[in-house]
């Protein structure tokens, strides 16, 4: 096998996803940045997406990363299974296959099997846990996710997860050898997400960034701020937007539904805000929370899986109950205590820089690639 500097890395997108999907969600620049940085350390990088020819419009944003897309318009289910044939010339060149999320293994595993390639299954959040919380532990959706998750982990030469808790889940529930699993956290571009800038801090403004859905607990957040004389900036889209819109006239707070915002514009909103609030009922490894911390904005997070393990209460952030009263009390406490906000903002920024910077995560990724190419289970 070639040296890492000459190797070909192929990233398989989540089932059904594309560069267009990332662009519509405002996360294209964020998701691509890691691979642009990695490109200087490996020979070549290829994205395999489920998009059509419109994927080509993003070529100038990829810095030489190749894109293989569904130019035939084949249904996603079949496209995933036919990838070894449809993209054979480029996939034959691959040294390492990697999934962007667990469900991307639907396309990656046939290529691994047919062409005998090394596979890294990346799991940014535990798919089965997410489906169990959304649809119920006994639901067919949760059972299917658990089954496919296990297949993807067992097939992989390495498994990447973003937290130690997820590693423990894979070992305990899927019986995956712990030496096969690497913890590589989500990254933050700490140069882009940084304190300062031209934005004036508004001590009466708080910010939320995320999908407007049940998981993010947005209705509890709106109820929490309704009696307060503050401004709440809500960035994101989701199924609860119509219900949120109907509540706006019933609140004292100035709640602004800003919709999707380009990733590069988020630091301005975060620097302007006195607080960032993420009251989710559960999370994997929440990027928005880390980005707020990187900006030096003090954060409030729900006392829930994925958040409570990440924040040290009173030091790097403020952990509160996920009830409206609990969220309201936390907001009121921090808005009243400038010294506490300053301490949380400073310590939060330091924590992210030391643990989740883009440069640090690039190093983690390269270590995983080296271990796969060396065949070293203890790397």
> Taking the alpha carbons of 72, 77, 78, 83 in that order, is the dihedral positive or negative?
positive
* Residue 96 reports pLDDT greater than 90: yes
Beta-carbon count within 10 A of 144 CB = 13
Query: Domains in the chain and their CATH numbers?
Result: 4-187+358-374 (3.40.50.2000), 202-355 (3.40.50.2000)
List, for residues 56-69, the tens digit of each pLDDT value. 999 999 999 999 99
Q: Which of 237, 219, 98, 80 is nearest to 158 (CA)?
A: 98
Of the pLDDT bands very low, low, confident and very high (cuts 50, 70, 90), residue 259 is very high
3-state SS, one letter per residue, for the chain: CCCHHHCEEEEECCCCCCHHHHHHCCCHHHHHHHHHHHCCCCCEEEEECCCCHHHHHHHHHCCCCEEECCCCCCCHHHHHHHHHHHCHHHHCCCCEEEECCHHHHHHHHHHHHHHCCEEEEEECCCHHHHHHHHHCCCCHHHHHHHHHHHHHHHHCCEEEECCHHHHHHHHHHHCCCHHHEEECCCCECCCCCCCCCCCCCEEEEEEEECCCCCCCCHHHHHHHHCCCCCEEEEECCCCCHHHHHHHHHHCCCEEEEEECCCHHHHHHHHHHEEEEEECCCCCCCCHHHHHHHHCCCCEEEECCCCCCCCCCECCCEEEECCCHHHHHHHHHHHHHCHHHHHHHHHHHHHHHHHHHEHHHHHHHHHHHHHHHHHCCCCC
* Residue 1 reports pLDDT greater than 60: yes
Query: Which pLDDT does position 379 carry in this prediction?
Result: 39
List, for residues 3-43, the tens digit of each pLDDT value. 899 999 999 999 999 999 999 998 999 999 999 999 999 99
Percent of the chain with pLDDT over 90: 94
64: left (phi over 0), alpha (psi -120 to 50) or beta: left
The better pLDDT of the pair 2, 35 is held by 35
Structure tokens, 92 = 């034959």
Instruction: Give the mean pLDDT of the chain.
Output: 95
């Amino acid at each position: 096998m070639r040296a890492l500097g000459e190797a070909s890395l192929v990233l398989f997108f989540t089932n059904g996803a594309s560069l267009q999907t990332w662009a519509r969600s405002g996360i294209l620049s964020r998701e691509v940045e890691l691979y642009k940085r990695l490109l200087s350390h490996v020979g070549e990088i290829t994205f395999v997406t489920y998009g059509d020819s419109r994927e080509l419009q993003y070529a100038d944003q990829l810095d030489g990363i190749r894109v293989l897309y569904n130019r035939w318009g084949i249904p996603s289910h079949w496209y995933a299974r036919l990838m070894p044939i449809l993209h054979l010339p480029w996939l034959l060149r691959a040294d390492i296959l990697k999934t962007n999320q667990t469900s991307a293994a639907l396309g990656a595993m046939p290529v691994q099997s047919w062409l005998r390639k090394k596979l890294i299954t990346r799991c940014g959040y535990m798919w089965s846990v997410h489906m169990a919380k959304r649809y119920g532990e006994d639901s067919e959706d949760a059972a299917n996710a658990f089954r496919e998750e296990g297949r993807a982990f067992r097939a992989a030469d390495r498994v990447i997860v973003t937290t130690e808790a997820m590693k423990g889940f894979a070992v305990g529930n899927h019986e995956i050898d712990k030496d096969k699993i690497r913890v590589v956290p989500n990254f933050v571009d700490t140069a882009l997400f940084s304190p300062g800038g031209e934005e004036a801090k508004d001590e009466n403004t708080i910010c939320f960034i995320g999908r407007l859905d049940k998981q993010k607990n947005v209705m509890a957040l709106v109820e929490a701020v309704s009696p307060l004389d503050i401004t709440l900036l809500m960035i994101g889209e989701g199924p609860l937007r119509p219900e949120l819109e109907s509540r706006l006239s019933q609140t004292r707070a100035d709640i602004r539904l800003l919709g999707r915002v380009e990733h590069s514009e988020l630091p301005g909103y975060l620097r302007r805000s006195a607080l960032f609030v993420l009251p989710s009922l559960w999370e994997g490894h929440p990027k928005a929370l880390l980005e707020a911390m990187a900006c030096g904005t003090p954060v409030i997070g729900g006392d829930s899986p994925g958040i409570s393990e990440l924040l040290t209460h009173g030091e790097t952030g403020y952990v509160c109950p996920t009830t409206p009263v609990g969220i309201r009390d936390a907001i009121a406490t921090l808005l009243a205590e400038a010294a506490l906000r300053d301490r949380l903002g400073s310590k939060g920024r330091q924590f992210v820089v030391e643990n989740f910077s883009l440069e640090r995560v690039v190093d983690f990724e390269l270590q995983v690639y080296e271990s796969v190419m060396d065949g070293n289970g203890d790397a």
